[in-house]
Amino acid sequence: MSSATARPEGRYGRAAARRRPGAVAAVVVLATAFVGWVVWAALGAAAPGATGQVTGFRVTAPHAVQVRVALSGDQGRLSCTVQALDRTREVVGVTTASARVGSSGQAQTTVVVRTRARAVTAVVDGCSTGAD
């Protein structure tokens, strides 16, 4: 008698169904697509299309600072937010620096930032590409 190898019917439930190869393939394709999208999004965030850097500034009055900004990025119009900071690093003025970038990918512009208190430095807060 082979009662030792036979499972009593209904005691342990049904035998586990084998996964279908089509379902496994679909999960693998979706997981690969998701990982590819995450990598694409991370690389896009790590290398922004527009950047700016303060190359010089001059305090021209107690409530104004002149800022020279170097912009770089793809060809077209770029805009950067320029902030004037006081001695405690508090933002005391904000303006936008815009320039058209040519085939070299570089442009220079000078802006005047009006301030509510005396500024001691200026920084670029962020840049974006504009519509042509």
In a domain, 30, yes or no: no
Exposure string (b/e) for 9-33, b if CB count within 10 Å is 16 or more?
eeeeeeeeeeeeeeeeeeeeeeeee
In a domain, 40, yes or no: no
Banded model confidence at residue 18, pLDDT cuts 50, 70, 90: low
Query: What are the tens digits of pLDDT across the range 101-117?
Result: 888 889 999 999 999 99
In a domain, 11, yes or no: no
| Residue 41: per-residue pLDDT | 78
What are the C-alpha distances in Å from 47 to residues 34, 41, 58, 62? 20, 10, 30, 37
In a domain, 1, yes or no: no
How many distinct structural domains can be found in the chain?
1
Query: What are the tens digits of pLDDT across the range 29-73?
Result: 999 999 988 888 777 665 567 889 999 999 999 899 999 999 988
Which residue has 């001691």 as its token pair?
120
In a domain, 2, yes or no: no
In a domain, 56, yes or no: yes
Containing structural domain, residue 60: 50-129
pTM of the full predicted structure? 0.62
Whether the Cβ atoms of residue 96 and residue 89 lie closer than 8 Å to each other: no
CATH number for position 100 = 2.60.40.3230
What are the C-alpha distances in Å from 72 to residues 1, 44, 53, 60, 83? 84, 16, 9, 26, 18
